[in-house]
Amino acid sequence: MHEFALFLFFSFGVMGLTMFGERYLHHAGERWVVTACAMGMALAWLANLNMWSAWGIGGLRYDWVGVTMTGLAMGGAATFLHAVTEFFAGLHRKFHDQAEVMEQRDLRRAA
């Protein structure tokens, strides 16, 4: 369970790092995903994190494959977490629609 928490927190870190570059990558969603996967792989290599061996899933012939797959998984998880946070951020705009508020205010003035 500790390995999953470590993986999840690293994924949040990758999401945070790639959100800094979102200003430059907002026009192409694929670049954001590639950047998240590259950051995930870099962080996994930097921390030498192999979640497959930490979970006891053997069978990988080389350790570097597990580290690289962990980085790709962190990039994918960061992409998923980014989509979830954007969904909940969009709910605020949906529930408190500014156009609807302006229409209600203008209708009160006209009446």
The predicted structure's pLDDT at residue 17: 87
Domain hosting 85: range is 2-110
Angle at 17 between CA 13 and CA 20, to 5 degrees: 145
pLDDT in tens, 1-28: 788 888 899 999 999 888 887 777 666 6
Burial class of residue 105, CB neighbours in 10 A (0-12, 13-18, 19+): exposed
How many domains does the chain fold into? 1
Mean pLDDT of the chain: 81
What percentage of the chain reaches a pLDDT higher than 90? 25
The predicted structure's pLDDT at residue 1: 74
* Verdict on whether the full-model pTM lies above 0.95: no
